[in-house]
Every structure is written in C-alpha cells, then in structure tokens.
Structure 1
Amino acid sequence: MQQLGDDIIEEINVHPDDYHKFIWIPHRPVVKTEANTTTKIRPVINCSLKVNKAPSLNETTYAGVNLMKDIVKLSIYFRSNKFTMLNNFKQTFLQIRLAKEADKNRFCFFMRVGNRLVTYRYKTIIFGFNTSPFILNYALKHHAEKYTSDEFSKILRENMYVDNMLVTSNNLEFLKEVYQETQKKLKEGGFTQRSWNSNSKELQSVMTNQGNLASHGNSYEKVLGMKYMLEFDTLQESTGPEYVSTCLHGAVNLVPKQDLQNAETRPSQYTQGHSKTFPQGHCKQECNTGTPAPRETGLVTGFGWPHGTRKTTWFSLGRC
C-alpha cells in the first residue's frame, strides 16, 4: 500500500470490544482515465456516512469559513495578462498532519489483507472531510505570513484554489522568479508542487530542464474545473445538452435547464445555483450556441425561454 509506505496511514491494533471508541469510515477506489491525471486511482473516504439515527462525521464538525479565492474572479484573472503559469500540489490534504491521537482515531478504516481484516487510521486530514479545505487554506495562508509581504507571499495567499496555483503576468522574467521562489518557500512548509505548465515556450523550457514540466502528454490542463487548451490559450468547458446560455445583465450565463424551468416561480434566481457566469465583452468568447432555444418547451405550462437563450454544448473563454 503506497499510503502506508508514505507514512500517511498506519496500522493499529484494535480489539473488537473497543471498536466503539473509534470512528470507522467506509472507502472505495475512484479510477480516473484522463491522461493529465497525476494519480490514476484515489481512495474516496465517505465522511457523510450515517448509521441509524446518528449524525455523520461531517454533520458533527464545523466546516470553517470559506478562505478560497472567488472562482469567477480567479477565472477572469487567469485570462488576463500575456503569460500564464500553473501547477498543482502533490497530495495536498495529505500534507497536513494530525497531532492529536483523538483526531487520528476519527479517520479509521478496515481493509482485508489476504485472510486478515486489518485496521488502519489516517495520520493526516483527508479528502471528503468537510473541514479539510478550510484547514488547508488556513495552513497555506499561515505559512505565507512567515515571509516578508512581497509579491511572492501575496501569490501564496491569493492565487491558490484548493491544490492549484495560477499566476499571470506580462513580465516573463517575473514569472521565472515566481517559479523559483514559490517552490523554495512552499518546500519549507512541507508542500511539494508538481505538473508545472505555461503558455510560454521559454518558461516551459526552464521547467523541462529542471524536470518539472507536466509530462502527461495531453493537449490541455485542468484549471478551475475547466479545460485549459494550451495550444489555443483558451479555457473551454463542455456543458452538455442539459445547459443553455443566456446573455443578460452584461454577462454570459451557462444555466442548467432545470433552473430555467423554475424561472416562472422564482425568476430572480434562475441564474443562481449551478450556473456559471462570465462577463460579456470582458474577454473574447465563443459558444457553439446554434439556434435560439424554442420559446415553448412543454415542460412548464406557460413557460418560455428568456430572450437571448440558446442551446449550448461548449463554452470557450479567450485571453483578455
């Protein structure tokens, strides 16, 4: 087991009479087949499990305040300036160690090894625990505060989204400095960056020489949940047939059809929820919108699609 060798989990001896003193969490593997996925098989821990009428682990813990950068603002920032640089962290949550035995005992699980049922526990915070994003972001910001308030520490505080770091600039030499300095400072905090990439061939050459350039061989990187097409320098998202696009209030909105079907009863909220919004005219955009969506859908009596609504299957956002 790789996580056992990496000192992320440890085997514990628990007598069956003492099982009730620990919190046991079910787990399952998730296999990702995308070429640019660094970890193909990930264990997913279900901290939302409820047994009988007892609350789940996630229900009994405070998730903390949201310290993550606003994803819309970060998306717009990523499309600004001429050059961009990105990377992600290796095993982000698993770099945060648990100090107390009581905390470790809250993340225990069973695994069959041969004919034996073996008990393990995590020594770190885990993906799937609702407080983990807050703890990670707080740890990163706390680490950044150790350094002089300069552009590099500002990037550590403000240019992170979960395990992604995004930096843009018109100054290529500045990005080279960021590339070197952030690695040094984050390594001092126990964080390892990987899968570096850029839309600059010169910066890619620097990363290649140091063995840090993303080596998955795919034509895109995943950025903020969207595909970043390196060759065309665009963010692209496949919305699927369940989305439509609207151009209202100076913004392009990708809206789930289900939300629009409820517009008759809550028209002021139909672009909320799972919609994705981008400023119209702020960046070069392209949609395969096709023809306008029909005014009458037959799904809701008296319901018609708002003016400007079109069928959408993908959305591309170019550089500002």
Structure 2
Amino acid sequence: MKFIFVAPIFQMEITNVLNKGKHIGHGMYISNSQTKIQHMIHSERVLLENGLSLMKDLQKVKTYFRCEGKYEGNPDEAEYGFNKVYNMLRQGQYFLDTLWKIKDHGSYVREGFLFFYEGEIERVTTDSTYYYRGSLSHINSLSNGSRETVRFDHIELEHGIKLFVEQLPQDLSDYGSYDATDWHFYSSVPETRANYFLTLARSHTVIPMKLLYYCSLLESIYSIDSSEINHKIAERVAITIGNSTDDKKQIYNDIKKAYDIRSRVIHGSLIKPNVKDSLIPLTESLDIVIRRVFKSNIFKVLNYKSSEEFNNYFLERLLSITKD
C-alpha cells in the first residue's frame, strides 16, 4: 500500500520552482510544484476525506511538505496513523525552526494529512483507503511581531537543509506525537532549553512577551545562578559573540534594556508608553543577537561544564579582553 503525507507551509515562498522538491531527510521533501497537488485535487477520494479547505490552502500557499512511500503494515491501526501524521508535522515544524537560524521568518506548518491508498492517487475512489489528519497550534511571527510572507532563495534553502540534516536523528520514532511534553524543562543540555524558549518567542506577536522569552533563552545558555543575572547575561553574550568594542557595547546595552522590559512584564508593572516605539527595533536587534549565539560554538564550549568551570570560563574571557 502506498502513502502520501502533505502539509501546506504558510508565510513562505521559494524563489525558484522545485519540480521534484528538495529532500530534507527521512523521505520528507519541501516543494512548491503544483503538479502533485493537481493530481490530488482530481482524486475524488482525497477531496471527500480532506474537504476543500485544506486543498485550497495547498493551492493558495504553494509551498508545502511532502512525503511518499510504501507501507507493508496495517495502516488501519489508529495509534500508528495518528502518531505518524504528527511525527511528520513535527519534522516539518523543526525544519522551519532550523530555517530561522538562516534568517528571520514567520513560516509555519499548521495541519497536514496522511493518506494510504492502492493504485494511482487521482483514480482512487474505493473504500480501501485510510486517512489521518493532524494539526498543530504553533503559529510563528517575525521578530517585529508581524505575520508576513518571507522569500527564501536556493542558497538559503540549501544552507537550512544542510543544518537540519546535520542535527536530524537517525530514528524518528519519538520525534513528535500528539501528546504534549515537558521534557525540555528537565534537560541538562542548554540548547534543548534554548530551542524551547525560542519557539515561545517566535509564536508571540506581542513584543514585550517576545523580549521576555528572549531573555529566558539567553539565561538558559549563559547562566546557572540567579545573582546579578541581567548584568551577567549582557556581559557574557557581548564578550562571546561581539566582534568589536562598539558591537559588544551595543549587545550589552540591548540586553540590559530587554531585561528591564522582562522585569516589568513578569511583575505586572507598567511599561511606559513613551518607550513603546523603541521596542520593535530592540526586539529585531535581539533576534539577530540570538541568531549569532546559535551560530557560535557556545553550546559545544559550555556543554557538561561544572558550575566552577562554567563561571571560570566567562571570567577568563572577560579578563583576557583587549581593546580593538
């Protein structure tokens, strides 16, 4: 029996046509070719199971994830079908998260379907088919809080795929399901916690909330205690990714400003209206800083260090700084 999984990608365009799609790992492709979509639209069974709404989304957004293959087991097992469709949705979601590390975007995958069938899909009309559908609630926005379509060219897409494949596990059986998880809170790996807070920040259109989660993200990487936290984080980020004195000062000052907003949000305090217009540029700046952090080697350097080694690492970096 054959299967096909398809999920539209919102707020994303690819500058060149990908007729065969681009493989992103484990049989999953990203594509904007309408040929396969037209075949499914002409399938009476697919339209019956799927409804017109999702098919119209596929035609409208143009970019989508696709996975095809053969399955030798029993697709009528509901547990397998539902876990499989969510597994693929999560794989697509994590790929889009990886693309953020190339550049800011608000692209997201919301729902997808998994269809098992015999023969040619456009001619399937019998009841010997199996259909599963799943949806995610996570919707991204740009760093400025807007939800606009972002275009990716061939080179950016290739860089994103390379980065994604490098971190893709060999076994995807536990890669995602419809059950909510909280394991990242208990992970000793800083990057795991950082990715979780990045997901929360990117899902918010409310700028102060973005800044709150950006600060939590930086804390998950650069701190293991709670004393003088805002000063330590600003200083440590600046000395590890700053390229010049001016660059380090800008990073330091931006993070300190972000922490002031974070404190007001957490404690329910008033954010003065006269600073509102400065928050979007601040958030855009923090977004760039955090992307630079992810591109640095900080996770490899800090992983599995003891508390003393952790603090000494930053102290040595601070004391070894020389003027430009």
Query: Normalising to structure 1: TM-score of the pair?
Result: 0.25
Q: Which has the higher helix share?
A: 2
Q: Which has the higher strand share?
A: 1
Query: Normalising to structure 2: TM-score of the pair?
Result: 0.25
